[in-house]
Amino acid sequence: MVRTSENDICALCFQRAKLIRSHLIPSAVYKICRAPGANNQNPLMVTDDRAVQTSAQLQIPLLCNQCEDSLNKRGERKIIPLLARSAQDFPMLEALKRTRPSVLDHDLAAFELRKIRDFPVDELIHFAIGMYWKASVHSWNSRTALPRVELGAPCFSVRDAVRAKNLRRFVLGDGPLPEDITLSILLQPRPLIAFHLPFEVRGEPDDRTFLLYVPGLSFILSVGPGVSGFMRLYSLSGPLGVALVTDTTEAHRQRFRDALKTARVAPQLREKLGIARQQLESKPST
């Protein structure tokens, strides 16, 4: 049964309503990340400073029923089936392999998704931006009131206030993505079946970068006026809807590995992630 909180303000439409418990990462992603057959089948969730294997899902009363349903329809419903279940079962990558990349250079391939018939580009963008937006309007952490990521707060500057307003309008379906936000996507041919909550990679005041990962897909969000025209052109949110396929798995593994050192992880899951004991104990390669 859906638990509700009565007479609160929906963070998206600002209407007073019964709020339902929204997930920062869609519950279907938790389901994909479960490890059947492991002693502990719970999904591996990585934050910027820890890894936990838990059945608890990050959820809070945030949205009214209508807005929650809108997020499902605008992105999640079409994208969840395309996420990786394993290296052999990655529907989005398979769909790209049936087409020709616009750029193929050694271990990098670029695909123009807008040219692929019926490819849900707008849903893909909305899926990622929806998670980033949720992370920007709540801490999702009982230990702090600060938002999980800072994409623009009304109290910081006029530019931040405008960005926050326009980002909310985009998530509502009432406007375009703010001009100083660029979303890029990397598909991982050797996907880790886990997820990483949105976090800030680099903290420059005018050129900020954020990352989140769901099985097979890294979404990189660049915020600020410093994003180059070239990067915009080769981004998912640019006019071509570019997706890059490149194996950055080792960098991902290193990040997960660092977090895993402090986490309790089922041996079967550790094996599934391909993390050998000696790798865990070796120094990170540079």
One symbol per residue from 11 to 50: x for binding Zn ion (CB under 5 A), - otherwise; what is it? Answer: -xx-------------------------------------
Nearer to Zn ion, 12 or 96 (CB): 12
Provide the minimum distance between the beta carbon of 63 and Zn ion in the complex, in angstroms, as a whole number: 5
Provide the minimum distance between the beta carbon of 67 and Zn ion in the complex, in angstroms, as a whole number: 3
Provide the minimum distance between the beta carbon of 60 and Zn ion in the complex, in angstroms, as a whole number: 14
Stated as kind and residue range, the H or E segment containing 208 is strand 208-214
How far is 65 from 162, CA to CA, in rounded Å?
A: 26
How far is 171 from 67, CA to CA, in rounded Å?
A: 9
Q: Does residue 51 bind Zn ion (CB under 5 A)?
A: no
CB 91 within 8 A of CB 187: no
Nearer to Zn ion, 12 or 260 (CB): 12
With contacts defined by CB under 5 A, name the span among 4-12, 22-30, 189-197, 225-233 that binds Zn ion.
4-12
**Which of the 8 DSSP states describes residue 76?**
I
Provide the minimum distance between the beta carbon of 28 and Zn ion in the complex, in angstroms, as a whole number: 21
Nearer to Zn ion, 40 or 72 (CB): 72
Nearer to Zn ion, 135 or 186 (CB): 135
Buried b (16+ CB within 10 A) or exposed e, 183-192: bbbbbbbbbb
**Which of the 8 DSSP states describes residue 75?**
I
Provide the minimum distance between the beta carbon of 17 and Zn ion in the complex, in angstroms, as a whole number: 6
How far is 73 from 70, CA to CA, in rounded Å?
A: 5
Report phi then psi at 257, rounded to 5. Answer: -60, -45
Closest CA to 202 of 150, 270, 142: 150
Nearer to Zn ion, 68 or 112 (CB): 68
Q: Does residue 10 bind Zn ion (CB under 5 A)?
A: yes
With contacts defined by CB under 5 A, name the span among 9-17, 19-27, 53-61, 220-228 that binds Zn ion.
9-17
CB 190 within 8 A of CB 249: yes
Amino acid at 236: L
With contacts defined by CB under 5 A, name the span among 45-53, 64-72, 121-129, 243-251 that binds Zn ion.
64-72
Nearer to Zn ion, 9 or 233 (CB): 9
Provide the minimum distance between the beta carbon of 137 and Zn ion in the complex, in angstroms, as a whole number: 12
Q: Which of 24, 45, 67, 83 binds Zn ion (CB under 5 A)?
A: 67
How far is 276 from 141, CA to CA, in rounded Å?
A: 31
With helix as H, strand as E and coil as C, how does 88-122 read? CECHHHHHHHCCCCCEEECCEEEEEHHHCCCCCHH
Q: Does residue 220 bind Zn ion (CB under 5 A)?
A: no
Nearer to Zn ion, 15 or 157 (CB): 15
Q: Does residue 64 bind Zn ion (CB under 5 A)?
A: yes
Closest CA to 28 of 84, 78, 90, 80: 80
Q: Quickly tell me which residue has 């937006």 as its tokens.
A: 133
Provide the minimum distance between the beta carbon of 161 and Zn ion in the complex, in angstroms, as a whole number: 20
Positions in the binding site for Zn ion (CB under 5 A): 10, 12-13, 64, 67
